[in-house]
Amino acid sequence: MMNIIRADMYRIFRGKAIYITFAIMLLIAVLSVIVFMEAPQTGIIIEVTIADDAADAITGATAAQMAISSIDLLVYFFLPLILIVAISMFSSGAIKNEISTGLDRTKLYFSKFILSSTLSIVFMLLHVLLHIILATPINGFGYWGGILSNMVASFGALILVALAFNSIGIFLCFVFQRSGAVNGIYLAVVFVPSAIIMLLSMAWPSVMDLISYDLFNQFPILSNVNLLSNAELACSIAICLVFILAPLAAGVTIFKKAEIK
């Protein structure tokens, strides 16, 4: 499995796609810091709870909290990472050669999941670090007392959401084997459930309670773990684990029986 991962990393970092993805993420980080700086003047209200920092002063600590609360933006970056890792072997026909050499299909599947998940977590770390690095020269490092432990716990919880979206994405790659289908279904998984819930809630307000079970909604829920009760935290973790384990089990089962053309 490690040999597969090493070969994939060599291929990925020799290509341009991952660097283009990172450059876009850097641009978004720069824009978000600029927007936050201008928020008091434009009337935009951005909630960042941080002790001893002025409301209009963006420090490293403020930016870190802002990055944690906006980490749901990275769901759009998980998709290209998943495609870079997994879909190319189907589009190029390399999958047939790999399977013909006797490579275990389960190991192949899990190697792709592990690598795409690792890259996604690295991008999450970079997302937070870029905000801190960009904001610190403006108003300093800021006050971190009382928030660091919550941020670490929140980041750890958000990793579960990232793993869930990677599990879904890898499942789609191995089942549909075409980037167009993966793109469409992945984005549907992100947006359709919450959209349906919100539409139905217009007629039946109680339906809105289901939003807490939507996978994408786990990003804002888990971005501040200290505000959650034990029951709420356990529920969110359980939801993430279901979306991690179910696609993994289904994907491996289907791929092991699939005919490779």
What is the pTM (predicted TM-score) of this model? Answer: 0.87
Q: Give the pLDDT of residue 49.
A: 46
Token pair in block for residue 199: 């539409």
pLDDT in tens, 195-226: 999 999 999 999 998 999 999 999 999 998 98
Q: Give the pLDDT of residue 96.
A: 77
Alpha carbons 252 and 107: distance in angstroms, whole number: 9
Q: Give me the helices (H) in 208-260, please.
A: 218-222, 230-257
Residue 67: is it exposed, middle or buried by C-beta count within 10 angstroms (0-12/13-18/19+)? buried
Burial 5-33 (b: 16+ CB within 10 A, else e): beebeeebeeeeebeebeeebeebbeebb
Q: Give pLDDT < 50 ranges for the chain.
A: 40-55
Q: Give me the helices (H) in 1-16, please.
A: 2-14
Q: Give the pLDDT of residue 54.
A: 44
Q: Give the pLDDT of residue 196.
A: 93
* Residue 139 near residue 57 (C-beta atoms within 8 A): yes
User: Which residue is listed with tokens 């906006």?
Assistant: 70
Q: Give the pLDDT of residue 162.
A: 96
Residue type, 239: I
Q: Give the pLDDT of residue 45.
A: 40
3-state helix, strand, coil in the chain (%, to 5): 80, 0, 20
**What is the H or E stretch that residue 38 is in?**
helix 17-42
Greatest alpha-carbon pair distance for the chain in Å reads 63
Alpha carbons 145 and 148: distance in angstroms, whole number: 7
Q: Give the pLDDT of residue 141.
A: 80
* Residue 219 near residue 71 (C-beta atoms within 8 A): yes
